[in-house]
Amino acid sequence: MNEPSRGNGRKSLLLIAAIAFVPMLVAYGVFFFAPEIIPQTTTNRGELVTPPKDVSEHVPTSDGWRLITLVQSSCDAACAELIYQVRQIHIALGKNSDRVSRTLVTPSPLDSTKSAELQVAYPNLEIRTDPQLARLLPASKAGANPNGFVVYVVDPLGQVVMAYDTERVGKPLLLDLKHLLKVSSIG
């Protein structure tokens, strides 16, 4: 009577070991011997900046995530609309909006009236004139957008991690930012 229970015990032990080790062996085999079946797509809607650009010398890193809006020339109606969209995205973050700050970067100073208008209309918008930062921010891939990227996501460590052109500022940026804030434990 003792023999049959001993055989069942071995079968149970082998079954438990197989449940633990077979998936690891399959994953190992797929990773090293069939990498073409691993999905190469991502869910981000903006462009991932690889490798991330370090801008910590130009932008304070103590206050969490940052949306940097880059304006290459004087701030016209399109620029004002872009700043408005970024503010609306910031508001749409809800309870996570305190984890994100907004910065407008220009390579040359804005005229004083435009700067004053922006400060009145957007009191939480930081306006920086920094030609070095404007040159440091990554340009779009060749042919993707002749005007380059306009909004950048900077992580709490001062790394530019994502870039968005004018067509992707709006819901795509909001969805990516919500996802980043959800999975991020920093900032």
Domain ranges, ordered by start, for the chain: 2-37, 47-183
Query: What pLDDT, on a 0 to 100 scale, did the predictor assign at position 5?
Result: 62
Query: What pLDDT, on a 0 to 100 scale, did the predictor assign at position 142?
Result: 40
Query: What pLDDT, on a 0 to 100 scale, did the predictor assign at position 87?
Result: 95
Query: What pLDDT, on a 0 to 100 scale, did the predictor assign at position 147?
Result: 54
Query: What pLDDT, on a 0 to 100 scale, did the predictor assign at position 2?
Result: 53
Query: What pLDDT, on a 0 to 100 scale, did the predictor assign at position 136?
Result: 85
Q: Which two tokens stand for residue 177?
A: 């930012």
Q: What angle do CA 89, 90, 94 make, to 5 degrees?
A: 105
Number of C-beta neighbours around residue 184 at 10 A: 14
Whether the CB-CB separation of 72 and 166 falls below 8 Å is answered with: no
Stated pTM of the model:
0.76
Fold of the domain built from segment(s) 47-183:
Glutaredoxin (3.40.30)
Alpha-carbon gap, residue 36 to 34, rounded angstroms:
5
Which amino acid, one-letter code, is at 55?
Answer: V
* 127 backbone dihedrals φ, ψ, rounded to 5°: -110, 125
Q: What averages of pLDDT result for each successive group of 10 residues across the chain (187 residues)?
A: 68 92 93 87 85 88 86 80 93 93 89 88 90 80 53 92 88 93 83
SS3 7: helix
172 Cα distance to chain centroid: 11
SS3 40: coil
